[in-house]
Amino acid sequence: MSEKSTQAAFVLGAFVCIGLGLLGYLVSGSVLKVKALDRTITVKGLSERDVPADIAIWPISFREANNDLNALFTSIQNKNALIVAFLTKSGFSEKEISISSPAVTDRQAQDYSGSERGAFRYSGSSTVSVYTDKVDLVRKSMERLGELGKQGVAVTGQDYETKTAFLFTRLNELKPAMIEEATRNAREVAQKFAQDSKSTLGKIRSASQGQFTIEDRDANTPYIKKIRVVSTVEYYLSD
């Protein structure tokens, strides 16, 4: 090989080495940047509110028994009228009051034997319901149900089907402020973590909003609702 060819090969080799060196530097720099971007922290932020219910659904139920079917229906109608009069006198409008169809059972038609059928052949039940935004009035009126008892209306105790329901229907009015609060609380937690780890909190990488839940604040105050939402936010960290 001539001297000239040897020099050319040496120069080419030098350029190749330099190129490989630069390529390695650039690749290593990119890897470091990617690794830096991989440093993240995921935190949760909570927002809660206690709010009064704005809708009440109040069912008032009673049962009747009689051997005469016509007399049973007459008694149910009369007692429904007493309940409606009690409600209108308490301050509820007729539009807020509804009466369900009576449910009547013929005990002799029951397909069973060998047990005591009771003193009366027919038994029936009826429910008068109030749907209103006058939540405080419902609570006050419930305390006066004894007045119906004095008129001969034996109101049944509340079970799953006849339990008074208190609702909150204005959630959309609270959502923006609660989401903002939850996100702010999440950032405060992330900021504290970054300070403790001697890092700098970066931009949000991802965020998700949890479902809003509405529950009774406790068993004794179903007319006060607790609204809750949790936001999950992932932040970048840097040195």
pTM equals 0.75
Q: Do 87 and 159 share a structural domain? A: yes
Q: Do 205 and 123 share a structural domain? A: no
Domain finish residue from 167, 196, 227? 167
For the stretch 59-117, pLDDT in tens is 999 999 999 999 999 999 999 999 999 999 999 999 999 999 999 998 887 755 554 55
Q: Do 135 and 63 share a structural domain? A: yes
Higher pLDDT, 105 or 12: 105
For the stretch 165-213, pLDDT in tens is 999 999 999 999 999 999 999 999 999 988 988 888 988 899 898 899 9
Domain count, the chain: 2
- Confidence class for position 24, pLDDT limits 50, 70, 90: very low
Spell out the long-range contacts of 203-209 with Cβ–Cβ below 8 A and sequence spacing 24 or more.
203/235, 203/236, 204/233, 204/234, 204/235, 204/236, 205/40, 205/234, 205/235, 205/236, 206/233, 206/234, 207/183, 207/231, 207/232, 207/233, 207/234, 208/232, 209/179, 209/182
Answer whether residue 32 shows pLDDT above 50.
Answer: no
Q: Do 191 and 161 share a structural domain? A: no
